[in-house]
Amino acid sequence: MPENSSADTSNISSNPLFQQLVKISRQLDQALEDSRKKDDIIRSLTEKIDVLTEQIDAANTTIVSLTEQITLMAAQRYGKKSEKRSSGKKKDDDDGNDSDSTPSAGSASESDSSKKPNTHRPVKKKQTRKPKSTLKEMIERMGIDVEKVVRELDEDKRFCEYCGHELIPFGEKHLRYELKVELPRLRVIEYVGVTYGCPDCHAKAADSDTPLSECGLSPVQAEAPKPLLPGSWASSSFLAMAIAFKILYQIPTNLLITMFREMGMFSVSSGTLCSWIISVSQVYFAPLFDRLRQILLA
**Is it the case that residue 61 has pLDDT exceeding 70?**
yes
Q: CB count, 10 Å around CB of 128?
A: 6
The better pLDDT of the pair 25, 98 is held by: 25
**Is it the case that residue 248 has pLDDT exceeding 60?**
yes
DSSP code at position 229: S
**Is it the case that residue 84 has pLDDT exceeding 60?**
no
pLDDT in tens, 13-24: 677 777 788 888
The pLDDT, as a whole number, for residue 215 is 55
Is the peptide bond prior to 184 cis by the omega test (within 30 degrees of 0)? yes
The pLDDT, as a whole number, for residue 62 is 92
The better pLDDT of the pair 1, 79 is held by: 79
pLDDT in tens, 217-229: 677 888 888 888 8
Whether the Cβ atoms of residue 150 and residue 194 lie closer than 8 Å to each other: yes
The better pLDDT of the pair 60, 107 is held by: 60
**Is it the case that residue 288 has pLDDT exceeding 60?**
yes
**Cα-Cα end-to-end distance for the chain:** 106
Q: How confident is the model at residue 45 (pLDDT cuts 50, 70, 90)?
A: very high
Within the chain, residue ranges assigned H as helices are 16-78, 88-101, 105-114, 135-142, 199-207, 212-215, 236-243, 253-262, 270-280, 286-297
| Mean pLDDT, residues 52-75 taken together | 90
| Mean pLDDT, residues 4-8 taken together | 49
The pLDDT, as a whole number, for residue 3 is 47
The pLDDT, as a whole number, for residue 47 is 92
Give the closest residue to 162 by CA, choosing from 215, 222, 221. Answer: 215
pLDDT in tens, 251-280: 888 888 888 777 777 667 888 888 888 888
Q: CB count, 10 Å around CB of 268?
A: 18
Whether the Cβ atoms of residue 171 and residue 144 lie closer than 8 Å to each other: no
Residue 172: beta bridge partners?
Answer: 194
H/E element holding 187? strand 185-197
**Is it the case that residue 157 has pLDDT exceeding 70?**
yes
The torsion angles phi and psi of 107, rounded to 5 degrees, stand at: -65, -30
Mean of all residue pLDDT scores within the chain: 76
The torsion angles phi and psi of 87, rounded to 5 degrees, stand at: -95, 130
Q: State the Cα–Cα distance between residues 17 and 23, nearest whole angstrom.
A: 10
Q: How confident is the model at residue 58 (pLDDT cuts 50, 70, 90)?
A: very high
The pLDDT, as a whole number, for residue 184 is 58
pLDDT in tens, 135-153: 888 888 777 778 888 888 8
pLDDT in tens, 103-138: 444 444 444 545 555 555 666 677 777 787 788 888
**Is it the case that residue 214 has pLDDT exceeding 60?**
no
**Is it the case that residue 232 has pLDDT exceeding 70?**
yes
Q: How confident is the model at residue 4 (pLDDT cuts 50, 70, 90)?
A: very low
Task: Tell me the percentage of the chain whose pLDDT exceeds 90.
Answer: 8
- Calculate the alpha carbon distances from 272 to 36, 117, 121, 131, 184 in Å: 79, 49, 39, 18, 24
Q: State the Cα–Cα distance between residues 188 and 264, nearest whole angstrom.
A: 12
The pLDDT, as a whole number, for residue 2 is 47
Give the closest residue to 223 by CA, choosing from 152, 117, 157, 133. Answer: 152
Length of the chain: 298
Q: State the Cα–Cα distance between residues 226 and 220, nearest whole angstrom.
A: 18
Give the closest residue to 122 by CA, choosing from 100, 92, 103. Answer: 100
Q: CB count, 10 Å around CB of 151?
A: 16
Contacts of 188 (CB under 8 A, 6+ apart): 139, 142, 144, 145, 146, 147, 177, 178, 179, 180
The pLDDT, as a whole number, for residue 142 is 76
Q: State the Cα–Cα distance between residues 140 and 131, nearest whole angstrom.
A: 17
The pLDDT, as a whole number, for residue 267 is 64
Q: State the Cα–Cα distance between residues 222 and 229, nearest whole angstrom.
A: 20
